[in-house]
Amino acid sequence: MDNNSLLDTSPKPTRDLELAKKDLDKFGFCFIPNVLIEKDLEQAKKRLVDQAEAEEEQGVSFRDGGVNQNIYLSGNKVNKGAFTLSNGGINQRLWMLANKGQCFRDMVVHPYVDELVGHILGKDFILSTHSANITKPGGVRMGLHTDQWWMPQPIKPGDDFIRASEISRKASDSFLKPDTDLGISPPVVANCMWMLSDFTETNGATEVVPGSHLTGAHPNQEDQSIYPVKQAVSKEGTLMVLDGRLWHGTGANTGNTDRLGVLTTFCAPQFRQQENQTIGLDRKLWDSCSNKLRSRLGFKVWNAYGRIESSVEEMIEPEPKRIGELFPKKLKH
Ligand SMILES: O=C(O)CCC(=O)C(=O)O
């Protein structure tokens, strides 16, 4: 690892976006304090807490982070009731936040997102996942991972390689110890963590390994005891932006309060979104979505990708005109 000196240090919170971009380049993450304040912060916090309570009441809540949670039935098959309170889940996850409040839709098009995610991914990027993670007392650490674990590693011409669809979350040797003489992959994902409560050492503040985005390596899922992990401790209202290659994960909540975090994850437009935002968007919201939001949700065609029929349309419609199986007139009677 060339970046040993970075592993002892973390960026300082800054409102200077040029400094924040330098932190992203150097450490793989940055902190902007007070991005959400007063009314905006209170509204987002209340919307999240109310939604979480209602999802629990209505039996649609998703829980993970339980110490004894049995997730797999056998092999890789996920047990249907795996992510519930009754199966020992503790932390509450909420998905598809684009449907769950204006405050969440505003995060997707926030000017700081344009600047900082744009610094990582360029001017065109799309929403991959918009989720919340409420860590609760007793929730265990998630484990370090990158947000682009599926990105193929560079190879030597003619060398064998892992077939792209066979890359798994459990990193293989060539991901754990890559040949960095071949270079490393660039970031194709960027994540934004909106801290809606203070993130502290005891309430599950995100774990990070500063500088790990430049190692070309992925963290070992079996044993992470040797990694120089830091916790992303900061005040409520802070926006933390992460390079998709940074090793990170939810911390353990050993305290007695909830940690409220919203994760707005973006990818470059040629990659598949984790949540299917275009099908998933509540149609009732369409008219109120700006073009910028529609583009970020994935309705904008990128170099003919994501289109339906002709590539000349810049945007696709939520209810597109579909051309089905047709026959020439001479065959119709
Ligand atoms: O909740 C956090 O602190 C990080 C969550 C995370 O890394 C993930 O969901 O992939």
Q: Pocket of ligand 1, candidates 48, 133, 241: which has the most ligand atoms within 8 Å of its Cβ, to mutate? A: 133
Single out the residue of 218, 272, 276, 214 nearest to residue 249, CA to CA. 218
Q: Residue 307 pLDDT more than 50?
A: yes
Are the CB atoms for 230 and 121 separated by under 8 Å?
Answer: no
Q: Pocket of ligand 1, candidates 201, 263, 265, 274: which has the most ligand atoms within 8 Å of its Cβ, to mutate? A: 263
* More confident: 70 or 231: 231
Q: Please state the pTM of the whole predicted model.
A: 0.95
- E strands, 140-278, are 189-195, 207-208, 230-231, 239-243, 248-249, 259-267
Q: pLDDT-derived band of residue 78, with 50, 70 and 90 as boundaries? A: confident
Q: Is residue 182 part of a domain?
A: yes
Please give the average per-residue pLDDT across 293-298, as a whole number.
98
| Residue 18: count of CB within 10 angstroms of its CB | 9
pLDDT for 115-130, tens place per residue? 999 999 999 999 999 9
**Residue spans of alpha helices (H) in 16-125:** 17-27, 38-57, 102-108, 111-121
Q: pLDDT-derived band of residue 71, with 50, 70 and 90 as boundaries? A: confident
Which class for 275: exposed (0-12), middle (13-18), buried (19 or more C-beta within 10 A)? buried
Which DSSP state fits 226? T
Are the CB atoms for 103 and 49 separated by under 8 Å?
Answer: no
Ligand 1, pocket residues at CB < 6 Å: 133, 142, 206, 248-250, 261, 263
Cα 332 to ligand 1 centroid, rounded to whole Å: 57
Q: Is residue 272 part of a domain?
A: yes
Backbone angles phi, psi at 145, to 5 degrees: -155, 170
Lowest mean pLDDT among 28-37, 166-175, 198-207: 166-175
Q: pLDDT-derived band of residue 5, with 50, 70 and 90 as boundaries? A: very low
Give the model's pLDDT for residue 2: 41
- Which domain covers residue 12, as residue numbers? 4-69+79-317
Give the model's pLDDT for residue 70: 81
Please give the average per-residue pLDDT across 195-216, as a whole number.
98
Cα 245 to ligand 1 centroid, rounded to whole Å: 13
Joined together, the tokens standing for residue 72 give 């797999």
CATH number at 109 reads 2.60.120.620
Please give the average per-residue pLDDT across 20-35, as a whole number.
98
Please give the average per-residue pLDDT across 83-107, as a whole number.
97
Q: Structural domain tally of the chain?
A: 1
Q: Residue 67 pLDDT more than 60?
A: yes
Are the CB atoms for 122 and 245 separated by under 8 Å?
Answer: no
Give the model's pLDDT for residue 3: 43
Q: Is residue 302 part of a domain?
A: yes
Are the CB atoms for 255 and 111 separated by under 8 Å?
Answer: no
Give the model's pLDDT for residue 8: 54
Joined together, the tokens standing for residue 102 give 């204006």
How far is Cα 251 from Cα 59, in angstroms, rounded to an integer? 26
pLDDT for 231-285, tens place per residue? 999 999 999 999 999 999 999 999 999 999 999 999 999 999 999 999 999 999 9
Joined together, the tokens standing for residue 35 give 């991005």
Packed helices 17-27 and 111-121: angle between N→C axes, nearest 10 degrees = 40
Q: Residue 311 pLDDT more than 90?
A: no
Amino acid identity at 149: W
Are the CB atoms for 257 and 137 separated by under 8 Å?
Answer: yes
Joined together, the tokens standing for residue 116 give 């900082």
Question: Residue 153 contacts by C-beta under 8 Å, 6 or more apart in sequence?
Answer: 161, 162, 174, 175, 178, 182, 185, 216
Give the model's pLDDT for residue 64: 96
Q: Is residue 323 part of a domain?
A: no
Lowest mean pLDDT among 5-19, 200-214, 215-229, 233-247: 5-19
Q: Residue 146 pLDDT more than 70?
A: yes
